[in-house]
Structure 1
């Protein structure tokens, strides 16, 4: 009987000891094969997808990219989300994360400007822009301040314009319909700038000029009106890698180098 018990104990050791030893190795293999992660502003979707392809063609790894409002993505990182690179539409977000030691150094890597897209029937021009936008009958769509830098830049535009047309800020602050920037879009979700016009929810939409170009590829009938330089707000985009991510650091250097900057310029972004 004693011999039988000893054999059972010995068999248990042989069954469970090797299995226990395999768990750490499995986790290490999974970690080693996991793609590096990029979080980036929604306005960077097309350009970053192309930069990732170019980076891969030059021997870099493919990045798992997620796009959304920069303020929301920053909150995810502050809540513990793991990321190798964060590319924000506001350099303030990457600088804040660097100060918290959640990312490495922040670098300004490109610029963008605001434009207005309007439905064909709206007689919107550069010379009547403020008066038309201030018309209570015109439905003005915007992004959401705080959660999306595009919303922050838009409200700064309202403040700038108020100096030329007193009361403009108050009118826009009450009248603007926040149709984007409040949440991180689901995979495959259509751009809110497109659906706003397709579903007749807006007469004019204030957005980045690069977003306007993308939207007009789908809806070419829309009119694109530039905002005067003295009223416009030039956005400053920031990028930063995690301090312990070598792949992240390499990708940031690629974005800052000639090839990455050329792709940004091709998509309408300004030089860093």
Structure 2
């Protein structure tokens, strides 16, 4: 009887030992959910748990002690801050995907250029919050490069992550917004891509094992899987570029 009780107490621990928590940028949600079955099949007993949000918000959670094994950011700058705070195992860091910044409107939108954003008919433009949302920082850089960032300030509607920007545009709550090409591809029936933007840092996605990971070997295995052919093919199907 005592032995059975001990086994019941130990069972949840053994199950938990194979659970891997991955905190990833919001733009990775659909792609990571799609590749999860392949990783779990290749690693019997492993179970992925995802936490999707803006990269800056995820970094704050990790810094505050959230139990995370893998961190995947939508920009190098946020991962650099993680490294500076010694929150990641630096040797594990890899770039596994790229993306592009695009201007989108509702399907019936008539905008054709960035200059059109200054038209009186454009009253609301959704952008990620530059302080915590990488797509917002890329947007600010792109608009500053054509001297529109300050001029458009009264029209900007801040969003907590790129998917919120996408939702604002898809529901026609704004006349325009800035998202990644992969997000626009997912909502191709609900948004129209006006143009691809330049004038910003390259959109690169780094991933790393979190220093306090309880499953560092399995976390590294997940990173290796991201760089493998099946995961890379899936990511490209979802609109991401090769690293």
Give TM-score, length-normalised by structure 1: 0.77
| SS of residue in 2 equivalent to 1:158 | helix
Q: Counterparts of 1:199-218 in structure 2 under 5 Å?
A: 199-217=171-189
Work out which of the two has the higher radius of gyration on C-alpha atoms and give 1 or 2: 1
Question: Counterparts of 1:22 and 1:49 in 2: how far apart (Å)?
Answer: 35
- 1:142, 1:205 within 8 Å by CA — same for their partners in 2? yes
Out of 241, 249, 253, the residue aligned to residue 224 of structure 2 is 253
Query: What's the CA shift for 1:201?
Result: 1.8
Out of 109, 118, 135, the residue aligned to residue 122 of structure 1 is 109
1:53-77 CA distances to partner (integer Å, 9 max, x unpaired)?
1112223522111111110000000
1:55-110 CA distances to partner (integer Å, 9 max, x unpaired)?
12223522111111110000000000111111110122223223333221222221
**Equivalent residue, structure 2, for 1:32:** 14
Summarize the Cα distance change of 1:216–1:53 in structure 2 as closer, same or farther, 3 Å threshold.
same
1:127-153 CA distances to partner (integer Å, 9 max, x unpaired)?
xx1221122431211111111111111
Segments of structure 1 that go 5 or more residues without pairing to the other structure are 1-17, 163-167, 183-190
Give TM-score, length-normalised by structure 2: 0.85
Out of 137, 161, 168, the residue aligned to residue 181 of structure 1 is 161
- 2:72, 2:206 within 8 Å by CA — same for their partners in 1? yes
1:263 aligns with 2:243: no
Structure 1 ranges of 4+ moved more than 4 A: none
- 1:115, 1:225 within 8 Å by CA — same for their partners in 2? yes
| SS of residue in 2 equivalent to 1:66 | strand
**Equivalent residue, structure 2, for 1:242:** 210
- 2:62, 2:87 within 8 Å by CA — same for their partners in 1? yes
Query: What's the CA shift for 1:160?
Result: 1.4
| SS of residue in 2 equivalent to 1:83 | coil
Segments of structure 2 that go 5 or more residues without pairing to the other structure are none
1:98 aligns with 2:83: yes
- 2:88, 2:210 within 8 Å by CA — same for their partners in 1? yes
Query: What's the CA shift for 1:120?
Result: 3.5
Query: What's the CA shift for 1:44?
Result: 0.1
- 1:113, 1:233 within 8 Å by CA — same for their partners in 2? no
